[in-house]
């Protein structure tokens, strides 16, 4: 089973989860730093009590990790930069011209040359040099770089989740205030100014749908600010959609490289394939969770927002896929559906799903055929290039990971063979890292990290990845599943 010769293999990483681990690498100016250090959150179990400053130290050990990635056959890394590192202080005072349509949608943000100079003076130059050294090390090895602007975290001067929990009227409300649209454009312009020379592909955001639903709906996820409010979900998504479109515009002023967005997509399936309500529920859930954001930035309209200024503001789509969601129709529910426990994300950690499938340490059901379905469905809907930008499993003992990896690679290749324009597969993640509210309890790495010594150890699944990535094929003698 051969992949196309130009098919890319690699890994995805995010700043907050990987960068820290040595004195001087701390980033205390982000909302997630404030959130995971909050004593009430720790005492109540909302977060693990593990702290990011004990992490794998990628910002210092990037050379070592790049060596490993190269040895494992990686062509590409998807990396991120931290807004709070580059712009630790507010940028609201940098004047810009903002245009809106009759519906209040921000349609244009114009940054003059004089304002750009003022903005660039605010940048943390040490952080710029750290990132430049890291990116240069990777691309000098012949590797491609996908650079993502935002992976969950925000500067605390835009979002203080502890203050918001105490006072929802605070201006520090993150994605609930449309001021963040303008500030995100400024940030995007800064990142492009300093790093475009290293970048092959851009992404504006990682999983904006997760930011909205985990922060304002599924509060047991431990995501900030942890306040359940369906109106907040839609408000945050709307602002993220507009911010993406305006960031797309400003990036295109600087670069000709493709600009995309990375979405978490789930395979929604009806609990009963014989019950019309469940079939309809799965279709509704898929549109609302998977495609509402993407519809907005391709077609220029969705149930949340409509504006010509949003249309065709994406060149490629990154798909983060982990498992499915089984749903049932519920007429009494506001959204018309509910998930069925025992499938997908709702299983027992290290258990067995109701269908008899193995589940990760996180309690996520292994469902590789869903990836093929999602790739085909997304390509059919948008006809845009796709990359599997995250796919992985929390499995500290590496018992499930070899089979998980192999079956999802097979699903990816099947989608390619059926016509989907899938151009790469990025495993999450190369090394163990800080898994948000779960801290270091969830080990996704092909490479085990001893967080005390920072030493790296290859897991057996890393050798399987190397076999496929280096040969651009799944050898016949691996097809044992």
**Which active-site residues does the annotation give?**
207, 390
Q: Please give the structure tokens belonging to residue 313.
A: 């503001």
Per the CB < 8 A criterion, the answer to whether 114 and 183 are in contact is no
Cα–Cα–Cα angle for 68, 69, 70, rounded to 5 degrees:
90
Cα separation of 167 and 177, whole Å? 14
Cα separation of 92 and 400, whole Å? 48
Bridge-based pairing of strands 144-150 and 97-100 is unpaired
> Closest by alpha carbon to 353, among 361, 345, 362, 365?
365
Q: Please give the structure tokens belonging to residue 119.
A: 């903005």
Cα separation of 465 and 469, whole Å? 6
Cα separation of 218 and 200, whole Å? 35
Whole-number CA gyration radius for the chain: 21
Instruction: Enumerate residues 6+ apart whose C-beta is below 8 A from 112.
Output: 95, 96, 97
> Closest by alpha carbon to 376, among 481, 282, 301, 265?
265
């Amino acid at each position: 089973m051969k992949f196309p010769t130009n098919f890319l293999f690699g890994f995805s990483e995010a700043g907050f989860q990987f960068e820290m681990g040595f004195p001087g690498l701390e980033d205390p100016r982000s909302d997630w730093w404030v959130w995971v250090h909050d004593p009430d959150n720790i005492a109540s179990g909302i977060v693990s009590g593990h702290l990011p400053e004990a992490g794998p130290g990628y910002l210092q050990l990037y050379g070592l990790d790049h060596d490993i990635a190269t040895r494992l056959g990686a062509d590409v890394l998807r990396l991120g930069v931290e807004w709070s590192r580059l712009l630790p202080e507010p940028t609201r005072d940098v004047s810009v011209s903002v245009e809106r349509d009759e519906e209040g949608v921000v349609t244009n943000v114009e940054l003059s040359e004089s304002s750009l100079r003022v903005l660039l003076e605010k940048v943390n130059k040490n952080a710029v040099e750290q990132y430049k050294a890291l990116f240069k090390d990777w691309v000098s090895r012949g590797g491609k770089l996908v650079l993502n602007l935002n992976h969950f975290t925000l500067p605390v001067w835009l979002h203080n989740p502890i203050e918001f929990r105490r006072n929802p009227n605070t201006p520090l409300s993150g994605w609930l205030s449309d001021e963040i649209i303008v500030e995100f454009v400024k940030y995007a312009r800064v990142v492009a100014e300093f790093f475009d020379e290293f970048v092959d592909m851009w992404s504006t955001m990682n999983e904006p749908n997760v930011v909205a639903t985990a922060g304002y709906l599924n509060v047991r996820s431990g995501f900030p600010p942890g306040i359940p409010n369906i109106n907040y979900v839609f408000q945050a998504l709307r602002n993220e959609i507009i911010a993406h479109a305006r960031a797309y515009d400003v990036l295109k002023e600087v670069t000709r490289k493709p600009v995309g967005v990375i979405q978490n997509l789930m395979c929604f399936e009806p609990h009963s394939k014989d019950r019309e309500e469940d079939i309809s529920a799965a279709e509704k859930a898929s549109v609302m969770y998977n495609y509402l954001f993407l519809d907005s930035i391709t077609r220029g309209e969705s149930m949340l927002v409509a504006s010509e200024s949003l249309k065709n503001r994406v060149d490629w789509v990154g798909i983060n896929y982990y498992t499915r969601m089984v749903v049932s129709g519920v007429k009494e529910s506001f959204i018309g559906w509910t998930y069925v426990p025992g499938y997908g994300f709702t299983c027992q950690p290290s258990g067995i799903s109701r269908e008899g499938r193995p589940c990760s340490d996180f309690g996520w059901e292994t469902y590789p055929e869903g990836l093929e379905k999602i790739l085909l469905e997304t390509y059919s809907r948008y006809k845009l290039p796709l990359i599997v930008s995250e796919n992985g499993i929390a499995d500290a003992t590496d018992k499930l990971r070899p089979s998980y990896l192999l079956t999802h690679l097979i699903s990816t290749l099947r989608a390619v063979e059926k016509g989907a324009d899938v151009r790469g597969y990025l495993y999450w993640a190369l090394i163990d890292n800080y898994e948000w509210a779960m801290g270091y309890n969830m080990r996704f790495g092909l490479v085990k990290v001893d967080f005390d010594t920072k030493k790296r150890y290859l897991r057996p699944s890393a050798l399987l990845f190397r076999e496929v990535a280096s040969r651009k094929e799944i050898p016949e003698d691996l097809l044992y599943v």
